[in-house]
Amino acid sequence: MKKEQNKVTYITLLAAALGIALMLSFLESILPLGFLIPGFKLGLSNSIVLLCLKAWGLRQALLINLTRILITALLFGNILSLALSLCGGLCSTLLMYFLLKFKGLSNIGVSSAAGAIHNLAQLGTALLLLDTFGISHLAPFLCILGGATGAICGLAAQIAEKNLKFADFALFFKK
Amino acid sequence: MKKGDYIVFAAIVLLSGVLLAVSLSGKSGKSIEISCDNKHYKSYPLNKNGEYKIKTQGGENTLIIEDGHACFKNSDCPDKTCEKMGKISKAGDSIVCLPHRVVAEVED
């Protein structure tokens, strides 16, 4: 009985994480930042991905991130933003997975690096797909901006994690 | 905040600096070559200011050359991605208008 209950809770938490990530993506879509580069995004949902990585692992985090990207692109975006988001999301999730292994980094550093890589990967993909070097001049600014927004996401993830542990949610984290 | 975070921040700033240096270097181009459907359309010199209308099967793009930079303005394409691509001036830079299949590339 206990095992079944834990499994249901696990699936529900996964779905809840996906829902929150989708909401954050929706918030991002309201802010019209697409004037710099078509498909440019803040990495707000990376904080959810980070928590998923810490709670469960790479497989679940990738699942939630890729599903979130797919649904967001279908609802609010176009093929171009789908391609950019996929590459950015994949690179940042993998980077976060590897950086979390270092004990000397907190959530903020991991998220900051992931944000910078997310933006740079998106720029790189845009360069490849659109075949133009004109936008490559935005690279340094994207790097700093990505690092800054990533740091803020990391802070949010830090606060969330502290409060989740306090509420004994950690009991459910290991399915 | 742990010690490693500061290293990450420093690395990001360093990377941005390197990217900035790379983007600022690069040869200034002499002319802009416009091609439509991968076929050469026209070339314009970058040292003469001017406004040129590029009429293709898809529609019209206005190429503005000013102070050695070139950019697209007032394009009648649906997404206006070409206008958002900004100014180009260094050899190898290019602006693309996908709906009209027009490419503007800087030649040195």
Q: Which residues in chain B belong to E strands, given as ranges?
A: 31-36, 39-45, 50-55, 60-66, 69-73, 94-97, 102-107
Going A130 to A135 to A140 to A144, the CA torsion angle's sign is: negative
The dihedral built from the CA positions of residue A11, A13, A16 and A21, taken in this order, carries a sign that is: negative
pLDDT tens per residue, range A6-15: 778 788 888 9
Q: What is the pLDDT of residue A34?
A: 61
Partner-chain residue, chosen from A35, A110, A143, that has the shortest CB–CB distance to B16? A143
Q: What is the pLDDT of residue A123?
A: 86
Interface list for B 71-100 with A (CB within 8 A): 79, 81, 84-88, 92-96, 98
Per-residue pLDDT, A175: 43
pLDDT above 60 (res A171) = no
Q: What is the β-pairing status of strands B31-36 and B60-66? A: unpaired
Check CB contact of B5 with chain A, cutoff 8 Å.
yes
Closest residue to A137, CB basis, from B5, B11, B23: B23
pLDDT 10s digits, A108-138: 889 999 999 998 998 888 888 776 666 677 7
B70: left (phi over 0), alpha (psi -120 to 50) or beta: beta
Q: Report the predicted TM-score, pTM, of the whole model to 2 decimal places.
A: 0.75
Residue A124 in contact with partner chain B when CB distance is under 8 A: no
Interchain contact, A102 vs B1, CB within 8 Å: no
Per-residue pLDDT at A85 exceeds 70: yes
Q: How far is A65 from chain B (nearest CA, A)?
A: 23
| Residue A140 to residue B13, Cβ atoms within 8 A | no
Euclidean distance between CA atoms B87 and B99, whole angstroms: 19
Residues A74/A56, Cβ–Cβ less than 8 Å: no
CA B8/CA A75 separation, integer angstroms: 34
**Interatomic CA distance for residues B55 and A41, integer angstroms:** 33
The pLDDT of residue A96 is 92
Beta-sheet strand order (sheet of B94-97): B39-45, B31-36, B102-107, B94-97
Which pLDDT does position A133 carry in this prediction?
Answer: 66
Q: Do B23 and A37 touch (CB under 8 A)?
A: no
Give the pLDDT confidence score for residue A33 in this predicted structure: 66
